[in-house]
Amino acid sequence: DEVTIDSVPRDVDQLLALIRRRLNTQQVEVETTRLTSDDIAQLATVVLTQMRSKWMDIEEMRVQHPLISPKRNHELIRRLFVNIVLICTNIFEHTMEEAQVFHDRYVFSHAANMTRLRTLLADRINTLINIHSLREQLAFEMVEEERVKRGLIFEETILKNVRKRLSKTTVLSQHRPDIRDL
């Protein structure tokens, strides 16, 4: 499903509330994940803690991008938040699936698996959510969209772009070195 953000979060608490709402830990079926509600809450806390630590980078991104008009800059910031929330959600869902795999393998104890999952989750968020790179990529996409509207380039040129558009179906949550910097 789509993520829509009408108003841009003004502080870290508003951002964390958006992410918390999307993680929706109460809707996770504990029976199917083999994780307790406390385990799920711990994983969600890791996501929220890592995003809290990235808030200063996000604040720096509120400066006007030089290639985009002020109105489009507001849209750039909105898209940045949408993508941050999507990536967090994808990483969290992937970690929940990994928890199931770890449990089914039963190589390590539950406590060891939870420690491993929390560490992997924090590492993935730090690796995959690079605020500066994400903003530049989104700005580039917006400039390309503007060029297409003006007829300066053809849409096929954009489709040949190596980076896929960020969406729910994009597998950003997998730990792949080739997509570390968006």
Domain boundaries, the chain: 12-179
**Mean pLDDT, the chain cut into blocks of 10 residues (182 residues total):** 71 94 75 80 96 93 86 92 94 92 88 95 95 94 86 62 46 41 35
Is the entire prediction scored with pTM above 0.85? no
Q: Quickly list DSSP for 27-51.
A: GS-HHHHT--HHHHHHHHHHHHHHH
Q: What's CA 142's distance to the chain center, in Å?
A: 19
Q: Quote the pLDDT of residue 62.
A: 83
Q: Quote the pLDDT of residue 158.
A: 52
| Torsions phi, psi for 147 (to 5 deg) | -65, -40
